[in-house]
Chains A and B, each alone.
Chain A
């Protein structure tokens, strides 16, 4: 889960990394007073979980509290790459002497974290890495030792950062480990004209698997302005991702569902969603999944693709039949059951003989049929 900039800023501050004074507001009415408390002249920054805010007009300097109110009104409600701006952060502007880049990212290949640092901050680090790779230091961190003060100094030196930036590297590591983050990034880290080192903007991605011990960032930190179908699915505990197509997909197992999307796409149709109902595929989960997918107006047909591994297909078929008693089927449903007890599962669905349900014994055949039905609808 990505945090908003203001949440990242809060974490940095809690771990002793200096940040500019700032306030977070969600209405223009609050802007004047907030700007006044911050000294009058402020930067108004849209809070959205996507990059490119500056280019989209989501970051603006306001000369005084009245201008801050006007600018806040302009930025609130703005759409930035599909993200609606619901809050803004007003921050004290600072006079920048130098800009740096520092981050810790997960190095999947080596099973550790990588420190990335550059004395050329303030722009996309990927651009710096592409054009001047020698300007970007990449230092692996031993996960057992972590980033000690000595290691922090080593990283700073490798990236030609000033020595007084090293404590930030040390504290940023503590943000990473104590908060169960997968990514912490400060860009830019600046030295102000009066010599302070400040984290001006940052990004933090937390590990969803660590929620059981990081309860402070609850569901409310998730983008509440996302897709309503995804929100509805999340409320039912479903593993669902909305896509831009017309064939609704239900399957068991992440790999098989991804594969199902691809096979449907290979038949010339577009999948409407990813939905993994897991190994169990109970009637209740099937009903929840069907109801979310059928509430998607873009869906023209639905493809249920289950391989019975641990679960047997007759249990899955029973689940579908039960689900169809609580969910009114409004679109054609193509079911492919294979694996454990497939014949019995197919017989159960045949016996139920729902006019909108048909079966195919192969994944590829079922995908073709679901694509045809979607095209004909």
Chain B
């Protein structure tokens, strides 16, 4: 079993004929994904040869869905055109849209998310590596060879490379599905959505939740875990050393005033009974302990107990901006 993506999923690629789209379509095909077509209005009716497979190009998502029964689209369309591409997919009634594109303006994302909510499309991303169900299908750019076989762990993460790191460390146990939900301030599928899906997936025995500074998604996930999740959850949070007010790579990774800190997220998760690793490697070790698995695929020694960077935090749940100074001007 898996979440959001199985070997039955029929996948369209919007932006397939661009350089990134071609590269990753090839990789997705190699990972077993049923790629049923690309979408590009200027190349409609043609077929693209990818490693011997002729992939048809459709003029629109709707055409592609009508012709193939596609239910998933992966979007590689560049930022200026991404909003139109996603809205087209939503209007066509696609079930899942995985938006890989990085750098989409927030107002565009707000618009397509609102549209998707009203039409029932699940958006994953944007600015995400996508979703992989190892051994079955891969919709996005997660390298399928990190953890190729099926497994027992469900993973949800804001970060691509931390997803890869944890998948690598736990590749012997393997994953049911891994979902990169993206590092933008406004995203579609949340930690909570994935937690719920993994809770309902019979093959997922344990859930790894990776978060980072910015917003309060991890705090909300913690509250959800305390209330609704019965499976063990192991957490990791990045960004303890991030300074206030600086964007750390991901558009959404920013501590604003006292909100969005790693400390607050770690505390909230721990209060919900989630063990939080101090490093990615320690996080993997916590997973092994919980699952009663002690083999380590890389044969590296376990890390010494580096303590988690700690600090007092004052998680304020107000999200008002820090006010400007107040010269009365008079």
**Residues of A that sit less than 8 Å from B by CB:** 5, 20, 43, 45, 51-55, 58-59, 61, 91, 93-96, 99, 101, 103, 105-109, 111-114, 116, 122-126, 129-130, 136, 142-144, 177, 180, 182-183, 185, 187-188, 190, 200-203, 207-210, 212-213, 239, 241, 243, 251-259, 261-267, 270-271, 274, 276, 307, 309-310, 338-340, 361-365, 367-368
Cα distance A111–B301 when bound, in Å?
A: 43
**B212–A209 CB distance below 8 A:** no
Total number of residue pairs linking A and B with CB closer than 8 Å = 277
Cα distance A209–B253 when bound, in Å?
A: 14
Task: Choose from B145, B157, B163, B321 the contact partner of A340 (Cβ within 8 Å).
Answer: B145
**B161–A252 CB distance below 8 A:** yes
Cα distance A198–B89 when bound, in Å?
A: 44
Q: How far is the CB of A276 from chain B (nearest CB, A)?
A: 4
**A109–B326 CB distance below 8 A:** no
**A111–B113 CB distance below 8 A:** yes
Q: Which residues of B contact A263 (CB under 8 A)?
A: 278-279, 306
Q: Which residues of B contact A310 (CB under 8 A)?
A: 27, 141, 143
**Residues of B that sit less than 8 Å from A by CB:** 27, 79-80, 103-107, 109-111, 113-115, 117, 141-143, 145-146, 157-165, 168, 183, 185-187, 210, 212-217, 220, 236, 238-243, 246-253, 257, 262, 278-282, 298, 300-301, 303-304, 306-309, 316, 318-330
Task: Choose from B113, B164, B251 the contact partner of A209 (Cβ within 8 Å).
Answer: B251
**B249–A239 CB distance below 8 A:** yes
Residue of B nearest to A274 (CB): B248
Q: Which residues of B contact A136 (CB under 8 A)?
A: 320
Q: Which residues of B contact A59 (CB under 8 A)?
A: 325, 327
Cα distance A307–B163 when bound, in Å?
A: 10
**B145–A207 CB distance below 8 A:** no
- A309 in contact with B239 given A106-B186, A253-B159 (CB within 8 Å): no
**A122–B183 CB distance below 8 A:** no
**B325–A201 CB distance below 8 A:** yes
Q: How far is the CB of A321 from chain B (nearest CB, A)?
A: 22
Cα distance A203–B256 when bound, in Å?
A: 15
- A266 in contact with B329 given A124-B323, A143-B111, A202-B324 (CB within 8 Å): no
**B329–A201 CB distance below 8 A:** yes
**B320–A364 CB distance below 8 A:** no
Q: Which residues of A contact B257 (CB under 8 A)?
A: 126
- A362 in contact with B281 given A105-B320, A122-B328, A210-B105 (CB within 8 Å): yes
Cα distance A309–B132 when bound, in Å?
A: 14
**B281–A363 CB distance below 8 A:** yes
> Can you report 25 A-B residue pairs in the complex whose CB atoms are below 8 A from each other?
A45-B327, A54-B326, A55-B325, A99-B328, A106-B186, A108-B252, A111-B109, A116-B320, A122-B326, A185-B324, A210-B105, A243-B243, A255-B160, A258-B213, A258-B241, A258-B253, A259-B162, A261-B240, A267-B306, A274-B246, A276-B249, A309-B146, A361-B300, A363-B280, A363-B281
Residue of B nearest to A177 (CB): B107
**B143–A309 CB distance below 8 A:** yes
**A309–B252 CB distance below 8 A:** no
Cα distance A93–B141 when bound, in Å?
A: 57
Residue of A nearest to B324 (CB): A203
Q: Apart from A53-B327, A108-B319, A262-B238, what are 9 other A-B pairs with CB-CB below 8 Å?
A: A5-B324, A43-B330, A54-B325, A96-B328, A254-B248, A255-B212, A255-B238, A265-B309, A266-B279
